[in-house]
Amino acid sequence: MTDDELLTPRTGTSNEALRQAILSQSSRSIRWRHRQRQAARAAVCGLCFVFGAATVWLRPAPQSEVITIFVEAPVAEEGKPPVANAPGSPVEKRRLSPSELELEAEKTLVKADSARLFREAGDLYVNDRADYQSALRCYRNFLDEAAPTELNVTPEDTWLLTSLKRAREQETSP
Amino acid sequence: MTEHEWRERGLRDAVLAGDERAWRLWYEQEYAPLEAYVLWRCGNGRDLADDVLQETWMTAVRLVRRFRPESGTFRYWLRGIAANVLRNHLRSRQRKDRRERPMNGDLATEDKALVDCERSERIARSLASLSDRYEQVLRLKYLEGLSVVEIGTVSGETESTIESLLTRARAAFREAYGDDGR
């Protein structure tokens, strides 16, 4: 046989069955590989989610700051409900200025209350403001309104009230 | 980048994304040229060509990610795979023949089909043993049916160079085939 005979391709029919078999086999391979890739992607996404969730679950909870507020409630008298800052209550009176207390004392018709308020106003004038003229005026009214037992000198009296009580005692003694 | 390169890049990317229609299109377009090439390289031996074709396509599917359109066409890439697959087939057949020849060597020469088969295999071995340059010029001449002038135009060589190259390629083939023409 010559070179040309050996090297010239023969015209023959194509193997159609083989052609179809290879096509279906290769297509299946592509499909399978695509599904594998999708599954791998889904697995990676799932793992990321699980790790993220685990991070949140395993992280120690932040220390909650506890703020304790102590509220001093007014002590209720026995048998009476506590009334916060009711007008005329001791808390309310404590907040009043000495001049307001003096005014309250002027308006009060009950003698004992009037005396007590004059005395408190006098104490505030002496201790808080060093207003001795006003304190003197309040103490004089207190001595006029006070019961005889309250005219005795007590340790709670201010120096001005003590001297006024002694002067009054000397005036009234025979 | 040429339009052909863009097209093949698009097909490759589509196949990698799992698009079976793109693969079918590519396959239908390249099957016949590859089959002709493999048949020629196998010396028209159908059995060997079928095995090589099947393995070539399955290898191409597996390695399609490595195909680079800028380095050459898909057809050229497929031919490269087919040449390697054929070489491997011939090696394994040679080992098998050595083991079986003492037992049925005489019977094979009497059977015409076996004689044809043996001739095809010898042609295939001879072509596989040639250098790429010789294989290319013989392919252009015999498989693609180009004239000497056309081969010169394709490969950028003069007519006389191609004539000389063809003569040397034929001689190399004949030497590898080991036949005196009968």
State pLDDT tens for residues A18-32.
999 999 999 999 999
What integer is the mean pLDDT of B40-55? 91
- Judged by a CB distance cut-off of 8 A, whether residue A5 touches chain B is no
User: Comparing C-alpha atoms, which of B181, B84, B90, B175 is closest to residue B130?
Assistant: B175
What integer is the mean pLDDT of A45-65? 84
Instruction: Examine the pLDDT at A38 and tell me if it is beyond 80.
Output: yes
pLDDT digits (tens, 9 = 90+) for B140-166: 999 989 999 999 998 888 999 999 999
- Helix or strand (DSSP H, E) at B49: helix B46-63
Q: Nearest chain A Cα to B18, which residue?
A: A34
Instruction: Examine the pLDDT at A37 and tell me if it is beyond 50.
Output: yes
Position B182 scores a pLDDT of 42
Position A172 scores a pLDDT of 80
- Judged by a CB distance cut-off of 8 A, whether residue A97 touches chain B is no
Mean pLDDT (chain B) is 87
Note whether B170 contacts A3, CB cutoff 8 Å: yes
Please classify residue B116 by burial: count the beta carbons closer than 10 Å to its beta carbon, then call 0-12 exposed, 13-18 middle and 19+ buried: middle
| Chain B residues touching A3 at Cβ < 8 A | 170, 173-174, 181
Q: How confident is the model at residue B94 (pLDDT cuts 50, 70, 90)?
A: confident
Lowest mean pLDDT: which of B22-26, B81-85, B89-93, B170-174? B89-93
| Chain A residues touching B23 at Cβ < 8 A | 26-27, 30
Tokens matching residue A2:
């010559």
Mean pLDDT (chain A) is 82
| Shortest Cα distance, chain A CAs vs residue B17, angstroms | 7
| Shortest Cα distance, chain A CAs vs residue B46, angstroms | 9
| Chain B residues touching A23 at Cβ < 8 A | 24, 27
- The percent of residues above 70 in pLDDT, for chain A, comes to 79
| Chain A residues touching B143 at Cβ < 8 A | 9
Q: How far apart (Å, rounded) are the C-alpha atoms in residues A109 and A127?
A: 27
| Shortest Cα distance, chain B CAs vs residue A42, angstroms | 15
Q: How confident is the model at residue B181 (pLDDT cuts 50, 70, 90)?
A: very low
Position A118 scores a pLDDT of 93
Position A174 scores a pLDDT of 67
What integer is the mean pLDDT of B90-119? 69
Note whether A6 contacts B43, CB cutoff 8 Å: yes
